[in-house]
Amino acid sequence: MLCRQLDMISMELSSNISHPRPEDVAEVMKRFQAVQQSGNTFLDPIYDLEDGRCVKVGTRRLWEEASYMEYVRKNTSIPVPRVHMVINGTGEWTYLVMDFIHGKTLQMAYLYKQLTGGDIERIADQLMDYIHQIRTLPIPSLSPPTAIGTYNGGPCRCVYFHKYPWNPQSVVPLSAFPDTIEFNKYWFNRGKIPYPENILGEAEFQLQYRDSVLAHGDLNTTNIIVDEGRIIGVIDWECFGWWPEFWEGLRIWEGSSGQPLWRQEILKRLNPPLRLYEVYESCFLNAFDEPLHY
């Protein structure tokens, strides 16, 4: 069913990715098991195979992520890791084999003071260009221009919507939101906040009437790989899809509280609706026992 959906929106994976040779699968799994036993992970759940490739371990949803990665890689200049193959394991386990990008996450480079002010400015400019490229990708006919969800029309993929202890089943959406208004209502209700027309400025309130935009969906500093003061990789495309216009900036803002210089530079370029961000932060604080900075 998933492969048929992806075929319909012209995001097919090449046969060597979706149907790798058995000997190639055996070789990858042998390397993976050796690395897994050694505990050599790059970012959980990503394992460095030490041959220029790495393996991301997850559920069948990795098929979607692999398709998104290949689609964005082929249609933009964004440095997305090339997918080599996707392997179905036992049960729901799935293995996504892709290029390993040698660098540091923006979070770690910032933490260890390996970035100059000029580096941070350059990285912010790069990221804004990538955001623009994503927003101008072709729109599939299956996706309504206002819907909020995955690229292929499914429900939102984000840590805030996963079936985790802090997300009871009753709050996990089963389908895409029809528009930004309904997306906002969902969060204001879940966060126990009155509909905020009286506390938002007019420009920020009007954002809910905009069409959705394509977005990575989770551009926090752990998903941006840097080297020598520039972005060399953007990873974790699980959340790729249609989001409210303000969402990409909100996730960047929320995940940069510990990186004030980075936050300052990226906010200069985003021209963000900060009051709306603050309302959403209150929603998240009320909806979860503690804030989730992923």
Tell me: pLDDT of 84 over 90.
yes
Mean pLDDT value across the chain: 86
What local confidence, expressed as pLDDT, does residue 275 receive? 83
Specify the amino acid at residue 142.
L
Query: Tens digits of per-residue pLDDT, 238-255?
Result: 999 999 999 999 999 988
Query: Which of 61-70, 172-181, 236-245 is predicted with the least confidence, judged by mean pLDDT?
Result: 172-181
| pLDDT bracket for residue 50 (50, 70, 90) | very high
Give the rounded percent of residues in the chain with a pLDDT score beyond 70. Answer: 82
Domains of the chain with CATH codes? 2-99 (3.30.200), 104-287 (3.90.1200)
Count H helices and E strands in the chain, helices first: 11, 11
| pLDDT bracket for residue 5 (50, 70, 90) | very low
Query: Tens digits of per-residue pLDDT, 108-166?
Result: 999 999 999 999 999 999 999 999 999 999 876 555 567 899 988 889 988 888 766 65
What local confidence, expressed as pLDDT, does residue 168 receive? 63
Nearest to 288 by CA among 194, 171, 167, 157: 167
What local confidence, expressed as pLDDT, does residue 144 receive? 59
Q: State the DSSP H helix or E strand holding residue 214, giving kind and residue range, or none if neither.
A: strand 213-215
Tell me: pLDDT of 274 over 60.
yes
Residues 6+ apart with CB under 8 A from 46: 54, 55, 56, 57
Contact in structure between 257 and 293 (CB atoms under 8 Å): yes
What local confidence, expressed as pLDDT, does residue 39 receive? 72
Eight-state DSSP code of residue 39: T
Query: Tens digits of per-residue pLDDT, 208-228?
Result: 657 789 999 999 999 999 999
